[in-house]
């Protein structure tokens, strides 16, 4: 029997790549997205594919899907700082009400449920690198709290459904991911740097640029998510690239790879901006036999080429 997956937020950056992977694995996809931050262009290549269906819908409202469903993957949420600072209520609602509705669908269909959580549940960590057993250091009333706490609540709700309703659940904690289909102006470091470098504007880094991040190419992230979905691991699993770099070094790398004349300027550090971010992926390595394989320069060159083409169309 053909397997069927519902992907909320399936027109988003990671969600659309996940739709591609599921279809490649011969799983039919029902993509649900209200296009608040998603983009129909991310899934337009799938229209006409008999294994793909798109439903425009806000998942904070009741989700109705006829027939059987084998998997529910909840990826709906604003995910960049510029989005969740501009859409704080919507971010909290999709993390709480949206997760509740998506879990309700999984419960009704007897489906496996996978929650897209985030490294932001660790907040500004005082444990480095971050392991899944670390509970985090989050400011619940700070501006970033709307995203951090929405995802922390979503994790708690997912585990409650697993324990109380016996739903088969998975939780993936996704670290910084990049690649084609990112929005040029989504506010995250990589697309911002690429846009600035490709237009020869100054690259803006916050503080001295000593804060660290770990960037994982999207195909690697999606591979880890798929392997987790196919596993029987209920507890959260980190998926990300453990190769850590400073934001300053990363900005310099973007300038070099784009052959840009841009310079680097410093801006004030945003409130609660994490100083360090690096996943411990021992769990994924040992239990999923997963680790990233795309080198940062290789992935950046593909992503920069994508952004170049997008700029040509503007």
Beta-bridge partners for 31: 7, 54
Determine contact, residues 203/139, Cβ cutoff 8 Å.
Answer: no
Q: Sign (positive/negative) of CA torsion 297, 216, 80, 57?
A: positive
Pick from 12, 136, 145: which is nearest to 88 by CA?
145
User: Cα(84)–Cα(150) distance, rounded to whole angstroms?
Assistant: 11
Tell me: pLDDT of 314 over 80. Answer: no
Identify the residue whose tokens are 């991310």: 42
CA dist list (Å): 239 to 114, 222, 224, 257:
13, 9, 6, 26
**What residue segments make up the domains of the chain, in order of their start?**
3-177+217-239, 180-213+243-277+294-313
How far apart are alpha carbons 294 and 303 in whole angstroms?
12
Q: Which of 46, 75, 65, 51 is nearest to 3 (CA)?
A: 51
Among all residues, which ones are annotated catalytic? 147
**pTM: predicted TM-score of the whole model, two decimal places:** 0.96
- In DSSP terms, 170 is beta-bridged to 114
> Directed axis angle between helix 189-198 and helix 247-258, to 10°?
40
Q: How far does CA 54 lie from the centroid of its chain?
A: 20
User: Residues 231-261: pLDDT tens digits?
Assistant: 999 999 999 999 999 999 999 999 999 999 9
Task: Please tell me what DSSP assigns to residue 272.
Answer: T
Contact yes or no for 250/204 (Cβ under 8 A): no
- Residue 237 in tokens: 């699993």
Q: What is the model's pLDDT at position 235?
A: 98
Q: What is the mean pLDDT of the chain?
A: 95
Mean pLDDT over residues 23-33, rounded? 98
Q: Which residue has the higher pLDDT, 276 or 157?
A: 157
Q: Roughly what angle, to the nearest 10 degrees, separates helices 13-24 and 218-229?
A: 60
* Confidence band for 207, pLDDT divided at 50, 70 and 90: confident
pLDDT at residue 215 greater than cutoff 70: yes
Q: 196-213 burial, b for 16+ CB within 10 Å, e for fewer?
A: bbbeeeebebeeebebbb
Cβ–Cβ under 8 Å, residues 304 and 258: yes
pLDDT, tens only, 122-175: 999 999 999 999 999 999 999 899 999 999 999 999 999 999 999 999 999 999
| pLDDT at position 20 | 98
Query: Helix axis angle, 296-313 relative to 189-198, nearest 10°?
Result: 60
**Strand 244-246 with 212-214, pairing:** antiparallel
pLDDT band at 187, cuts 50/70/90? confident
Fold for the domain defined by 3-177+217-239: Rossmann fold (3.40.50)
Residue 184 confidence (pLDDT): 87
Residue pair 19/52 in contact (Cβ under 8 Å)? The answer is: yes
Report pLDDT for 163. 98
* Residues 219 and 237 sit within 8 Å (Cβ to Cβ): no
Q: CA 163 to CA 68: how far, in whole Å?
A: 23
For residue range 95-124, what is the model confidence (pLDDT) as tens digits? Answer: 999 999 999 999 999 999 999 999 999 999
Fold designation for 180-213+243-277+294-313: UDP-galactose 4-epimerase; domain 1 (3.90.25)
């Amino acid at each position: 029997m053909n397997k069927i997956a519902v992907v909320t937020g399936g027109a988003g950056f990671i969600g659309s790549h996940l739709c591609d992977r599921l279809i490649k694995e011969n799983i039919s996809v029902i993509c649900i997205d209200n296009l608040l931050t998603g983009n129909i262009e991310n899934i337009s290549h799938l229209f006409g594919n008999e294994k793909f269906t798109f439903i425009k819908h806000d998942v904070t409202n009741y989700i109705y899907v006829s027939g059987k469903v084998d998997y529910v993957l909840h990826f709906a949420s604003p995910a960049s700082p510029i989005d969740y600072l501009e859409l704080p209520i919507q971010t909290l609602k999709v993390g709480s009400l949206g997760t509740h509705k998506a879990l309700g669908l999984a419960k009704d269909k007897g489906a496996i449920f996978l929650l897209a959580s985030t490294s932001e549940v660790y907040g500004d960590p005082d444990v480095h690198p971050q392991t899944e057993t670390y509970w985090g250091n989050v400011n619940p009333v700070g501006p970033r709290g709307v995203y951090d706490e929405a995802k922390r609540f979503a994790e708690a709700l997912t585990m409650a459904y697993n324990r109380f309703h016996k739903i088969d659940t998975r939780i993936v904690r996704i670290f910084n991911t990049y690649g084609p289909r990112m929005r040029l102006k989504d506010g995250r470091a990589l697309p911002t740097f690429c846009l600035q470098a490709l237009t020869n504007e100054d690259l803006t880094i916050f503080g001295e640029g000593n804060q660290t991040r770990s960037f994982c190419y999207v195909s690697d992230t999606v591979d880890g998510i798929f392997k987790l979905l196919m596993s029987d691991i209920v507890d959260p699993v980190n998926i990300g690239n453990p190769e850590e770099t400073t934001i300053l070094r990363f900005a310099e790398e973007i300038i070099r790879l784009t052959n840009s004349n841009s310079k680097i300027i410093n801006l004030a550090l945003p409130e609660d901006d994490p100083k360090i971010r690096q996943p411990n992926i021992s769990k994924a390595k040992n239990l999923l036999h997963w680790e990233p394989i795309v080198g940062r320069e290789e992935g950046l060159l593909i992503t920069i080429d994508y952004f170049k083409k997008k700029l040509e169309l503007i």
